[in-house]
Amino acid sequence: MKIFPKSLKKGDKIAIISPAGSVEPTQLEKGIEMIRSKGFEPILGENLYTKFSNGYNYAGTEKQRLKDINWALNDSEISAVWASRGGYGCQHLIHGLNLKKFTKKPKWYIGYSDNTVIQSYLFKKGFASIHGQTIKTSSFGVTEESYDLLFDILKGKNPKYSLKSNQYNKQGNTEGELVGGNLALIYALLGTKYSFDFKDKILFIEDIGENFYALDRMMMSLELAGVFTKIKGLIVGGMTNMGDEKDNKQYEESFDEFANQLIAERISKYNFPVVFDFPNGHIKDNRPLIIGSEVKMKVNNKVKVEF
């Protein structure tokens, strides 16, 4: 059972950091104001808007980004840490993360996409985190409900989701701790000491902008690593902008049917419940999940996922 951070109360401070890609101040204005409107105090990391180009536009050097995340995780006045965005760069930080004071006062870490790396690290250390929308909204936007549900978690209210059935779902009931996040990062951590422990877990995956062969390659790697013989259930979220843009008629769809078909074929021989088209990922309706929480899945004519 993972440790849940304490619920936040009005006036608590939320640190905003950029552990991966760079951001412009205008991209965070609405998110920062939203935090204030909810009664919390946003505290900006020193290198939140720093830029460092090295084959990718990072939010500062590895040293600068590591300084910000360790400050946010360990400062006793901070009650939650919210990533400005994902992109690429969290893997640079994982070997230098410091949880010395964090363990005495655990706090929610909020993010998705590249932040899966940080959440996998926290999971291995025994702490739950929130796989939810970053402060920066993407081109497809974010629903107000997605943010409201995230603030509900911060206040101590766990989500319950009811979904429509999907043709690729596999029926059954199961429960276990939730692990996962962005498939590309789950794949990137396989074989390292920072990879999730998959035994008796429910796995969540989502992704964006991958060619179909790359999606299958990642699923094959999970199969070869024995992941599908260990997990008790699978939740598939957004599969956005998948395949080749010119050939894929479903480009810019939140839930790519061919991607779902590929995943369903790859796991067809395994006997665990599966939910497709869960509203989390690089999509507008990005509803939060709690990595490390016990979750119950009921997959029949209707689908229920409860934390």
List 113, 129, 146, 195, catalytic entry? 113
The SS3 of residue 77 is coil
* 234 residue type, one letter: L
Single out the catalytic residue among 22, 120, 195, 282.
282
Closest CA to 87 of 109, 110, 115: 115
Torsional class of 91: left (φ above 0), alpha (ψ -120 to 50), beta (otherwise): alpha
- Tell me the CA distances in angstroms from 10 to 17, 41, 144, 182, 290, one per residue in order: 21, 9, 20, 31, 22
**For residue 115, what is the DSSP state?**
G
Catalytic residue among 206, 210, 254, 293: 206
The answer to whether residue 113 is catalytic is yes
Q: Which residue reads 């990879």 in tokens?
A: 195
Integer CA distances (angstroms), 246 to 101, 240, 243, 255, in order: 50, 15, 9, 18
Query: Rounded to an integer, what distance in angstroms lies between the CA atom of residue 259 and that of residue 219?
Result: 11
Q: Where are the alpha helices (DSSP H) in 125-245?
A: 144-154, 183-189, 212-224, 227-230
Residues annotated as catalytic are: 113, 206, 282
